[in-house]
Amino acid sequence: DRRVRCAVDWTGPADWFEQQERYGWTLREQVRLALDSRWKPGMGWGSAGQFIEQNLEPTLETGSPELAAVRHRMLAASPRYFVDLLPRVQLHYGIEDAIVPRKNGDTLVEALRARSDGAPPFEAHFHPHAGHDLPYPKAYDQTRAFLMSVIGGQ
């Protein structure tokens, strides 16, 4: 949507297909264990509960998993694959984040740097001693300054 002039990402996954591992388990392994163990949202560990709730439950309720729809939702939540379409972006990742590992931020920064000349600028902030919820005042200040710079530069 061309009306969107900027985006702020706080600890967001960059790639649901490849980057959401936990304790050495891939998302695929986590989801298999979660389904076998009948985890509900909030149970277990890693990203499996959230993945099941957001991606699989809507199709399981109908009794026929629509794998194309699941894949589409995973792709839509994986900005690594469409960085050329992103507007001006600010990223925030907690270095100690156990839910969305820092490598998501590293992957997204690498993809943003590889964009073509003339792509909108981006900022990336990796906060020490911060986890997934980023209770980190500096991140709030940086986000506010970023948004105000976009609003002020209308």
- pLDDT of the residue at 126: 95
Q: Is the predicted pLDDT of residue 145 greater than 90, yes or no?
A: yes
Return the CA Rg of the chain: 17
Vertex 51, ends 47 and 132: CA angle to 5°?
A: 35
Cα-based distances in Å from 54 to 11, 37, 61, 107: 17, 18, 12, 23
Averaged pLDDT score across all residues of the chain: 82
> CA 66 to CA 9: how far, in whole Å?
28
The tens digit of pLDDT for each residue in 107-138 reads: 999 999 999 888 899 999 999 989 888 867 88
pTM: predicted TM-score of the whole model, two decimal places:
0.77
Q: Is the predicted pLDDT of residue 93 greater than 90, yes or no?
A: yes
What percent of the chain is predicted at pLDDT more than 90?
Answer: 36
DSSP string for residues in 27-69: HHHHHHHHHHTTPPTT-SSTTHHHHIIIIIHHHHTTTS--HHH
